[in-house]
Structure 1
Amino acid sequence: MKRIEAALFRLIDVALVALLAAMTMMVFFNVVLRYGFGSGIDISEEMSRFCFVWLIFLGAMSATRLNMHMGFDLVVTSVGPGMRRLLLTIANALVLGVCLLILAGTLMQWGVNATNAAPVTGMPMIWVFGIALPFSVVIGIFAALRMIGYATGRLTDLPRAVGELHQ
């Protein structure tokens, strides 16, 4: 299972690099064309925006796996271990709840987004907003596992610091 997870997130990391490179190139060439030649490629504006949306969602999934997402831990670090576990259980339960809301909203809007077309490319908008489906599932799984871990005592401390991840 760990190998499948590692392979999946390796694929996500490669996709992040490809999306960032594609977005950068599209914007750069469009700026050069607009200022240098007085014209541009209309499709590049829309596609770079779509790449940005996917970049954010995939990046959030990757960051959640590594516990590198932003957090405010002033209260959690100032309480004892038992209260810390309770607060982290509640926090992960809230994250799971939000993921369930995003999942439900994505499924409710699926038909609408599948039939709406992007103005320039004509792509179904589900290609843009559909990323919320795997996003909510992946982050929801991590939040559920962490919530159970804190509630049962298998996880007892704060998520590791960024510097500890690569040692």
Structure 2
Amino acid sequence: MLNKFINSYCRLLEYAMALFMLLMVIMVFGNVVLRYGFNSGIAISEELSRWLFVWVTFMGSVVALNEKGHLGTDMLLARIGLRGKKICLGISYILMLALCGVLFKGAWEQTKINASSTSAAMEVSMGIFFATGLMFAVLGGLIIARDLYRLLTGQMTEDELNAVRESEDTPHGSHK
């Protein structure tokens, strides 16, 4: 049930990210054309694009966390046994949950502090901007808690214990 909720929510985030990126391209391109072609511009274009970029970044982090898509190294994990992998993964999940808690606390404080402040161009609450941290802390914490539960109950396969997905692209060419 939790898996279905998280996967459905991540699918929704993917659609939202695509929409936000489309809006950013349209606003920035439109603003460039208006400034250079007609010596005018859209006042909120730059600020809204910046806000959408921050939201896309945090939403993408949630999706990547769910898909185990963040970059990592498995140099140590490749050299230890199954029990060692489980212990290392458990410790990393506990640390990540703690960091989600710290992020939630900080984002909550910033959201409260800035809730009454308004942005310069759009004149909307700055609390919306800082709520990105709340969104990631809650959703990321749910994903990590689910994975920790699966680890502790033995539902995780040996392939999943690696927690690192191989990159399909080599960033600086092939090193053969």
Shorter-normalised TM range: 0.7 to 0.9
- Alignment-mate amino acid for residue 35 of structure 2: R
Cα distance in 1 between the residues matched to 2:141 and 2:98: 8
- CA distance 1:153–1:3, shift in 2 (3 Å): closer
Partner of 2:146: 145
Moved more, 104-113 or 153-162: 153-162
- For residues 44-82 of structure 1, give each alpha carbon's deviation from its aligned partner in whole angstroms, at most 9, with x where no partner exists: 000000000000011111111111122222222222211
Cα distance in 1 between the residues matched to 2:96 and 2:46: 33
User: Equivalent pairs: percent with the same residue?
Assistant: 33
User: Is 1:103 the counterpart of 2:100 in the alignment?
Assistant: no
- For residues 101-138 of structure 1, give each alpha carbon's deviation from its aligned partner in whole angstroms, at most 9, with x where no partner exists: 01111222232121111011111011111121121011
Query: Any gaps of 5 or more consecutive residues in structure 2?
Result: 168-176
Tell me if structure 1 keeps the 8 A contact 2:104–2:134.
yes
TM-score by length of 1: 0.87
Tell me if structure 1 keeps the 8 A contact 2:17–2:59.
yes
Tell me if structure 2 keeps the 8 A contact 1:57–1:132.
yes
- Alignment-mate amino acid for residue 25 of structure 2: T
Query: Any gaps of 5 or more consecutive residues in structure 1?
Result: none
Partner of 2:120: 119
Runs (4+) of structure 1 moved beyond 4 Å? Answer: none
Tell me if structure 1 keeps the 8 A contact 2:14–2:63.
yes
TM-score by length of 2: 0.83
- Alignment-mate amino acid for residue 92 of structure 2: A
Alpha-carbon shift at residue 160 of structure 1 (Å): 6.8
Cα distance in 2 between the residues matched to 1:48 and 1:142: 28
Alpha-carbon shift at residue 153 of structure 1 (Å): 3.6
Cα distance in 2 between the residues matched to 1:9 and 1:76: 28
Partner of 2:162: 158
- Alignment-mate amino acid for residue 117 of structure 1: T
Alpha-carbon shift at residue 141 of structure 1 (Å): 1.5
Cα distance in 1 between the residues matched to 2:98 and 2:69: 20
Matched residues, number? 163
Alpha-carbon shift at residue 162 of structure 1 (Å): 6.4
Cα distance in 1 between the residues matched to 2:30 and 2:110: 34
Cα distance in 2 between the residues matched to 1:77 and 1:15: 37
